[in-house]
Structure 1
Amino acid sequence: MAIEWSDTAEGVDWIALSEMYRLAPLGNKSAQWLETAFSNSMFKFFVRSGGTVVAAGRAVADGVDCAYLCDIAVHPDHQGTGLGKELIQRLVNRCRGHRKIILYAVPGKEPFYGKFGFRRMRTAMAIFENPEQAAAGGYTD
């Protein structure tokens, strides 16, 4: 099937997208949560196959200083096809001109993002809604 790219949220089935994130696996993100997050993001891409979203990602950005890539996911049936690489490259290209482009990776995936020029930060810090879960997942010390 043909792959279709879109940079708008028009026609997105948020419930199906929520299920795709669960399967990816990138956690449980409700349809309402995803709709709010993507709507509030400066840049976004949705990748469809047969009309169904099979990959998505977004970037929160201020237009000059900082862009943050997040919620990059590819359905398991489409992983390993290059969609994730193209998705990241498209988001990075949209974010060009910002002083810094940031993301935080699932532990163990850092080498993948390094191919795009991302480097480990020594001073990054975060406040997580669930600090115990973040530590258990390998995101914090």
Structure 2
Amino acid sequence: MPSPLITYRTGNEIDLNEMLALYEASTLGERRPIHDRARMQAMLQHANLVITAWAGVQLVGISRALSDFAFVTYLSDLAVHRDFQKQGIGKELIKQTQLAGGPNAKIILLAAPAAEQYYPHIGFTHHPQAWMLSGNAEIK
């Protein structure tokens, strides 16, 4: 059976239930607060660069990012439904995010442990100077 045609859309006007189902089916849900609907809705609503992949009417991939469209785009979520992985959908989502983020804007991200080897394979370089402060951490 041939793979369905994948189409791509820009915009965050997607159904929250579809997004949550995708996160769960991609394993990204293990690292996102998918049971906190209000928080997930805010994450979707406030992302200013969202690219989605569709197989017909089914949401099968998402790139959720924050960008200034000039210097940097933070790719906060990249998810592809497990049944559609290894078809180039994630790579295409990143390409479209890169194009939409601006010709000179770099993309930065935090890789999931299982995806650490994927990003160098497609051209990302490791940046050891990155730092992270958890949302509930106290600044000393």
Give the match for residue 19 of structure 1.
21
SS state at 1:60 partner: strand
Stretches of structure 2 lacking an aligned partner (at least 5 in a row): none
Distance (whole Å) between structure 1 residues aligned to residue 94 and residue 24 of structure 2: 19
Distance (whole Å) between structure 2 residues aligned to residue 111 and residue 21 of structure 1: 20
Aligned-residue sequence identity (percent) comes to 28
Give the match for residue 74 of structure 1.
80
Distance (whole Å) between structure 1 residues aligned to residue 114 and residue 58 of structure 2: 29
TM-score normalised over the length of structure 1: 0.78
AA in 2 matched with 1:127: L
Distance (whole Å) between structure 2 residues aligned to residue 101 and residue 49 of structure 1: 26
Structure 2 matches for 1:1-141, cutoff 5 A?
1-10=4-13, 12-27=14-29, 28-29=33-34, 30-129=36-135
Does structure 2 conserve the Cα–Cα contact (< 8 Å) formed by 1:89 and 1:116? no
AA in 1 matched with 2:43: A
| Cα 1:32–1:54 shift into 2, 3 Å | farther
Does structure 2 conserve the Cα–Cα contact (< 8 Å) formed by 1:15 and 1:31? no
Distance (whole Å) between structure 2 residues aligned to residue 117 and residue 35 of structure 1: 31
Question: Please, what is the CA RMSD of the aligned residues?
Answer: 2.1
SS state at 1:114 partner: helix
Distance (whole Å) between structure 2 residues aligned to residue 34 and residue 4 of structure 1: 24
Aligned residue-pair number: 130
| Cα 1:67–1:98 shift into 2, 3 Å | farther
Deviation (angstroms), 1:130: 7.0
Stretches of structure 1 lacking an aligned partner (at least 5 in a row): 132-141
SS state at 2:117 partner: helix
| Cα 1:58–1:70 shift into 2, 3 Å | same
Distance (whole Å) between structure 2 residues aligned to residue 38 and residue 127 of structure 1: 21
| Cα 1:36–1:75 shift into 2, 3 Å | same
AA in 2 matched with 1:5: Y
Moved over 6 A (4+): none
| Cα 1:125–1:78 shift into 2, 3 Å | same
